[in-house]
Each structure stands twice: as structure tokens, then as C-alpha cells.
Amino acid sequence: MQLLDSYVKAVKLYLPRKQREDIARELSANLLSQMEERQEELGRALTEEEEMEFLRQHGDPMLVARGYRQDRPSLNIGIELIGPELFPMYLMILGMNLTIALGLTAVFVYLFKAPFSLEPFILPFLIQIFCVTLTFVILNWIRRKYPQPWYYPPAALSPHLPIARWHSLSGLVVWSIFTLWWAAVPYFPGLLFGTWAQGLELAASWHHFYLPVLLLLLAGIAQRAANLARPEWTWLLPGVRVIINGIALAMQVPMIHGFPFVVVNPAAAGHPLFEQLAEAYSNIILWGFLSWLWIYFLIGALVYARFCVPHVRRWLALRQHGTAMAL
């Protein structure tokens, strides 16, 4: 009953800490009893698809856990920003991200021999709070506006749940716009520098990463387009994303070593204003993006690797079954 165990573990994530184990045992026993009754009616063991259908009918782990909670913590400022279903996961993700971001920033500061002060930690701290909070606010709005089950399934159950088309479509739109912007920047530098494009240009070292980044963006677009047409290809999303995040993570160190990223072009050489702007743009790229972006890629690679595990297990099981049938 691997699917049942994964389902109960997913519900546990959203339960009150003190009651978590007792409720999980009770829930597991009740579900197992119902599944055994169903097996007796059929006169055989449930297939994996039938077990998954039973769990799907029981409901989203977030909503199931909500029924056991007497406290309903949420984030409100007159209107609900993050509802009680998502709030426990919000706190968990925020805490994990802040721990990783601040811990690895300390390592980053040490390795690059930067002055050890609060300044390098402030931006990653604020960015994690902003990004995680904004993500959950948007997710909460989607849950209210377009109610549907299973927004965040546990890894073991995800191969049985088609990828929502709204998820693929929204990603396709957003990343297509960004990819077009990235592709156009070398030809229209005003998209990056605005009115200062006449005196600034990207450093030569930065051009080494233009094509690799473009290819990664196109790979992400292709995955989203494929899943929009084939939502049942649940293996495609984690498989492609773990590769994209892994490659992007490996690129971070050489990209950081390419500092400065913006220089004054020959036409404005020696102009003090453009020299200040080039330094400002380089620092924004370094501290506003690259100093924390690798944390995003690291967490993404680990999360998608976890979601790849059940697909690999299913593939190995099918191969073993096929070999046994052949023999």
C-alpha cells in the first residue's frame, strides 16, 4: 500500500504537530479498512489505478487535513491572502527556503572572502519572503477562483494525476514572453538598459551564457507545450525540470565569476556617469539576481528529483515485469 502510505504522509504535513501521529494512524486505519472492504467485494487486490481512484475520491490532502484542525491559521490584511489550507505549507516552505538561503549565503560570503556583515543576508532574506509569499498568494487566489482538487500531490501519487492544463498554459505564456525578451536583448539593448543603452553594453564574458540560457528557456517552453497537449505525460515535467535546474545551477559559479557584467561601450568611454551606471547595473545583476538565484535552482533540482523517483520506480517495475513475462 505504497500509495496509501504516501497519501497519509501528505495529510500529516498539514496537521497540528501535537496531534499529527494520532490522527495519521486513525486516518490510515480507516482508509485501509475501506480499501480492504472494496477488495472483498471485488474478490481480488486493488490495482494501482483503483487504489489511486479511491484516494482521489477521498480528497486533496490539504482539505482532508483541514477537517482535523480546530485552529485555522491564515494570512489576512482585511482580505484573505493565504487561506488555512495553504498556510501550514507556506510556513514550512518559507522556513526551509530561509534556512537554505541564509546558510548558503554565509558559505558564499566565506568562499568569496566578502566582508562578513548583515548586508549580504538582507536581500536574500527579503527576496525569499517576497517570492514565497507572492507564490502562495497567487496559489490561494487560483484555488478560490478555479477550485479543483490536488494542487500539490505527494511525489508517489503524482504519476497518476494528469498535469493541469492551466498550469502548463500559464507557464507557457509567462516564459514565452521572457524568452522573447532574452532573445531580443542583444539586438535591442534598450530592453535592458533603457535610455542608457547608448553608453552601456554587456561585458564579453556575459555573451558566453546567452545561448545556453536561451536553450534552457526553449526547453522549458517545449515541455510546457507538450504537457498542454499531453497532460497525461506526468514524467515529462519533473524529468525536464530536474535537467534544466541542474544545468542552470552548474552555470551559476562561472556566471558570478564573469563580474562585472556591464561595461561602458567605446563611444562613451571615460564618461563618469556611464561608469557609475555600469557599476550599478553589475551590482544589481550580482546581488539582485545571481547571489540568490542559485538557491532557487538548487531547491528546484532537489524537488523535481524527488518527483522523478516514483517514475523511475514504475519504469523499473515495468521492465522487471516485462523480463519475467519473456522468461
The position carrying cell 490522527 is 23
User: For residue 111, what are the CA distances in angstroms to 125, 192, 213?
Assistant: 19, 30, 25
Interatomic CA distance for residues 125 and 90, integer angstroms: 15
Quote the strand ranges of 20-85, DSSP E: 75-76, 80-82
Report the share of the chain in percent with pLDDT over 70: 93
Instruction: pLDDT band for 176, please (50, 70, 90 cuts).
Output: very high
- 7, 61 in Cβ contact below 8 A? yes
- Label residue 156 by pLDDT band (50, 70, 90): confident
- The C-alpha cell of 23 is what? 490522527
For 199-241, the pLDDT digits (tens) are: 999 998 888 899 999 999 999 999 999 999 999 999 999 999 9
Radius of gyration of the chain, Cα coordinates, nearest whole angstrom: 24
CA 236 to chain centre: 15
pLDDT digits (tens, 9 = 90+) for 88-116: 778 888 888 888 878 877 876 776 666 77
User: How many Å apart are CA 81 and CA 89, to the nearest integer?
Assistant: 14
Q: What is the pTM of this model?
A: 0.71
Would you kindly state where each structural domain of the chain is located, as residue ranges? 2-66, 162-327
C-alpha cell at 61: 490532502
Phi, psi of 43 (to 5 degrees): 75, 20
